[in-house]
Structure 1
C-alpha cells in the first residue's frame, strides 16, 4: 500500500497533572493535585497513572480495591485514601478528559495511489485517503478528512473539514456533509426513499430526486441508513448522534442534539425536535411531529404527534407514568383473570337462583 505525500511522526503520549485536568473540566482537587495522569480506565481495570470515575453507586465497593491514581466523583468518599477530582457531573468530566487523551487527530497519510478519484474533484489539505476509495465527479472535500478503504462518494457530494468516514460507507450523489462528521462502517447516505404509488395490483416507483443534508458534529453508527428525499432534503441537524442499525426515511428532519439509539426507525416526512431521545428499538410512524426534549422509551411505538417536554413509552406510545401503571397491572393479569372467572361464576349462580325463585 503506497501513499502520496509525507507521513508525519506520531506525537508523544499524553500526560497531565490532576490540577490541569481540574482546570479543564472546572472541578476541584481534594488531595495531591500534582499526581500525573497518563490514561483513563474503569475502577476495576485501572493501574497506577490512570484516572477513573464513579457515577453509579453499585460500583462504590470497587473504590476499596482500585489501583487508580485519582477518582472523578461528585463528592469525596470517606475512607478512600486517593486524590479526588470533584465535579457536579463526573460522567461528563470523564468524557471531556477522554477527548483530551484519545481524540488527537491522526497524522495525515496522504492519498493512496490505489484510490480512484475524478480529476474534476477537489480535496483539501492534510487528507488521508486509503486504497479502494472511489470519489466521483465534481466532489468537494474539505481539510483533514479521512476516508477508509471501500468508501464510495458519488458525484456532486460536498464534505466539510475534519470528517472521518470508515470502511465501506456509501454516499450517494448530491449529499451535503458538514464539519467534524463521523460515519461508521457500512453507513449508507442518500439511498432512494421507499416511495411507490399503487396502480391496481402493482406499484409504480416514485423517483427520489431530493438529497440528504448532514450538518456539523453529527455521528452515525455502523450500518445505519439515511434515505434521500423524494423532493427537497432529508435533514440531519447539528450535534445529532445516531447509533448502529438505525433507519431514517425520506424527508425526515432530525432536530439538533437529538439521540437515536440502535434498531430504531423514523418513517417518511416525520420531524423530530431538538434534544429528542429515541431509546432502543423505537419506531416513529410517518408524517408526525415530535416536539423538543421528548423522550421515547425503549420499543416505544409513536403513532401520533408528541408535544414538547413529553416522556412516552409503549406501543402505541402513551405518557410514561400511565405506561408504568399499565405494566404493573399487566403483571397481575393472571390473578385478575382468575378473580374475574370466579365472580362470573358466582353471578351466573345468583342469576340461576333468581330465575328459580321467580318461577316459584
Structure 2
C-alpha cells in the first residue's frame, strides 16, 4: 500500500512535500490502508478501511489503474512477474517465439504504462519481423511526465532513486513553500529528476535528459537556471558557443550587425493580471525574459475601472477589474513560435486578455491609432510590412 502520494512518480521526500501542500488545501490522506467496504443504502454514506476505521463521504471515485492479465501466460509456462519477462529482443526469456510489448512486457525489471515506450517497442519488433533490421534491440525508454496536481506543477523523468553507488544526487526541499527539486546524474548525464512546485528549469532539463547529453558546467544550474536581467543585446562567448536559445541582455560589448538586427522580433501580449506571474515563470523557464510590462485599461470600460482596480480585492471581484498587462519580449526570429505557444499554453486559450498577441519586426512598424477597430481575436504579423492606421 502506498506510503505517500504518487509513489510511482515521486520519492518519499517529494511525496511528503506534495502531501503537505495538498493538506494545506483541505485534502486529507489515509495512507497505508485500503478500502474494504462501501457503506450505504442506494447511495454511499461512508467507506470502511482495512484497519477498521471509517470515513463518511457522499462520493467514491475509484482510480484502478492498469495491471496486465498474466493468467494465460502463466498457464502457458512463460516466465511472468508483473508482466511477461522479455529480453532486449522483446521475446520471452524462456520462449523465443513469444514476444510482448506495452503493459504486457516487463523489460529489465520495468513495465511501462505509457504510449511512447510501447511505440518504441513496436518499432523494434517491426524492424525484426520485416527484416529491415533483424538485429534491432530495445534498450529501454527515457520516460518523462508533466502533470498539474490540484494546481501544483510537477515534472518527473527517469529514475526517482539512484541505482549505482557512483550516481550523483542533488536535492532541494522547501516544505513551507511546496518546493522540491532533485536530479540524479549517472556518468555525467541526467538519469532522473523531479521538479515539484517550480518547473521553470524543466524545458532545458528535459532536453538534456531526452537527448542523453552530458551535463556541461554546474549541475545545479539545471535545477536553478541563472536569472536573466533585461532584454537588449549580449555577445555570446566565442570560447563557449551554444546552440540553445537565450535572451539578449543589456551589455555594451558591441553593436549588432544589420543582419542580427533584422533577425530580432518583438512579441507583445495583452495578459490578464492573474496569469502574469505564471506566464513570466513559464517564459523564463525557456530562457526568455520579459522586456517590459505596462498596465492596460481597455477603452469603453475606463470610467470607474481605475477605482475598482485600486479596490479589487475589497470589492469581492478578485482580479476581474484589475488592469491587464501589456508584456513585450525581444527574441530572435527562431524563438517566436516557442514563445507564442508558451504564452497560449500558460493562459489556457488563444484569447489572451483582450485576445491579441502581436509579433512585430523591430523596424518599419507604424503605431496603430487608438481608434483603430479590432481586426480579430488572434493576430500575428510575420512579415516586415508596415501596419498603417
**TM-score of the superposition, structure 1-length normalised?**
0.27
Higher helix share: 2
Higher relative contact order (CA 8 A, sep 6+): 2
